Amino acid sequence: MNNSIQYFTEKEIPELEKIKINFMVNPALFDKCVKEVLQVFLQTACCFVREWLGGR
């Protein structure tokens, strides 16, 4: 589980920050931002499950 948390901290949080900045600059692209956030969380969930199942 530690690898998943480290991955999220190093890779996904900066990506979420970029999405937030893009949304603040152009709120009209709300649907795009939602899709991007969803993609980040799905990637993170896959990482957690993969580690939980013992794979990398």
3-state secondary structure of 53: coil
Say what the pLDDT of residue 1 is: 57
pLDDT-derived band of residue 50, with 50, 70 and 90 as boundaries?
A: confident
For residue 13, CA distances in Å to 5, 47, 54 come to 11, 14, 24
56 vs 28 pLDDT, higher one:
28
Range(s) of the domain holding residue 48: 2-20+31-52
- Does residue 42 belong to any structural domain of this protein? yes
Per the structure block, which two tokens stand in for 29? 């692209």
pLDDT-derived band of residue 5, with 50, 70 and 90 as boundaries?
A: confident
- Does residue 25 belong to any structural domain of this protein? no
pLDDT digits (tens, 9 = 90+) for 11-46: 899 999 999 999 999 999 999 999 999 999 998 888
**How many distinct structural domains can be found in the chain?**
1
Per the structure block, which two tokens stand in for 56? 């990398």
pTM: 0.79
- Does residue 26 belong to any structural domain of this protein? no
The answer to whether 33 touches 23, Cβ cutoff 8 Å, is yes
